[in-house]
Structure 1
């Protein structure tokens, strides 16, 4: 029985919305060499490419981006060094319900948080990413909001209210400052039914993420895997935790 490894990115392989640590980049690349590895992230494919670098991306067996609403594989699955072109295997479309963006703007204007940098929601394939502090925030501003949110639970409160208003959608906490919005079922767990269902019968599937707790954007996939005999999920808080995890079974 073989092992297949799935990794989230923000808070798992990299600091949130930042590039991978250069030392860990080489460590992870070396670890990947003889393994079947997939990326499962809320970020877009182009952002993941910027965060992880072309070498890591080329050594994956596939990349599930935008909460697994898009799936990419290399055209050349045999030789990573030649794998600079990618095929889009599938994508889900997202048509926002009427008044959703108006609701999001309203929560931004009503928030008591003192810093709002603009660019508060981003349309991605199959989803929307929403942030009170805004995507233009600096790393320091993001850290400040993360501290505020950990105390006030603002994202959790907003997500709860939006779920009541838009029953067809899911609103889950993603990264350090944002939430991901998508149609129910179009979360990271869809990788199992769309791609790994047969593989789980004869392989062990290991998923590493930082938002495995309920209401996190890794929760759905972790929940589905833990219900399967050969599925496993591991929660980390930082890329340093992941680096340590790679030194232990079944990763080492």
Structure 2
């Protein structure tokens, strides 16, 4: 039989945005799916946020691979792998110019409300939130609706691209309130360099359209992409996949 690994996005795929994983989905992955295939997760958030969302107890034992920050922070079988940093690629001077522009743009941006933590500095990326990551769950939904109607994040990205055309950066909208900025090639396909020895890599993600933070890995020739609409849909599609795997076994 083919050696298979299932690779999951976190927000919008295994969990609702910034929420904990559904108990039934977690149980299915650990008790049924893991008996048939290897499992891995890849998220744009840092490792601490992923731990909170996926129940940090025994997290590194539950998954064969854990990729935080698109794989810039990577763990294989509970062992941390070598990582790179965004400042080592861009350089401190250019990075500060970039951050100063972002803060200036946000200071002049008129929104229904603003909260705190507009830039989150991570190992391999910057996470930028025009409204601030400290907003409540209800405020997230309000901003997301406002953003859908007014394209706040998209306009922000276009302004940055115009100001810094020489920087080789990718801009990726994910979740409800923010977007990620990282060097070209450091999207979620970055994690694939750590995954070896599999005949099939099945990726499950929700932001799979152009500009979404699952787009590149969903479209990659190295993966079999599954577009999902949320945790319930992920569970539904996993059951279909398991049935297909079992049918192939029966045919052998």
Question: How many angstroms does 1:210 deviate by?
Answer: 1.1
Q: Is the 8 A contact 1:49 1:57 kept in 2?
A: no
Q: Partner of 2:18: helix, strand, or coil?
A: coil
Q: Tell me which residue corresponds to 1:68.
A: 71
Report the alpha carbon displacement of residue 105 of structure 1 after superposing the two structures with TM. Answer: 1.2
CA distance in 2, matches of 1:251, 1:189: 27
1:51 paired residue number: 53
Query: Which residue of structure 1 aligns with residue 211 of structure 2?
Result: 215
Tell me the residue number matched to 1:83.
Answer: none
Per-residue deviation, residues 126-173 of structure 1 (Å, max 9, x unmatched): 111111121111100001111111121211221222223333211110
* Between 11-20 and 151-160, the greater mean CA deviation after superposition: 151-160
1:1-252 → structure 2 map (5 Å cutoff):
1-34=2-35, 35-53=37-55, 54-74=57-77, 86-95=78-87, 97-166=95-164, 167-192=167-192, 194-196=193-195, 198-199=196-197, 203-224=199-220, 227-228=221-222, 231-249=223-241
Post-superposition shift, 1:110?
A: 2.5
Question: What is the alpha-carbon distance in structure 2 between the residues aligned to residue 29 and residue 55 of structure 1?
Answer: 12
* Higher normalized helix content (fraction of residues): 2
SS of aligned partner of 1:67: helix
TM normalised by structure 1 equals 0.85
Question: Which structure shows the higher strand fraction?
Answer: 1
TM-score normalized with structure 2 length: 0.85
Q: Deviations over 1:95-128 (max 9, x none)?
A: 1623111122123223232111111111111111
Shift in CA distance, 136/247, structure 1 to aligned 2, threshold 3 Å: same
Gapped runs of 5+ residues in structure 2?
Answer: 245-252
| 8 Å CA contact retained: 2:33, 2:242 | no
Corresponding position of 2:250: none
RMSD: 1.9
| Runs of 4+, deviation exceeding 3 Å | none
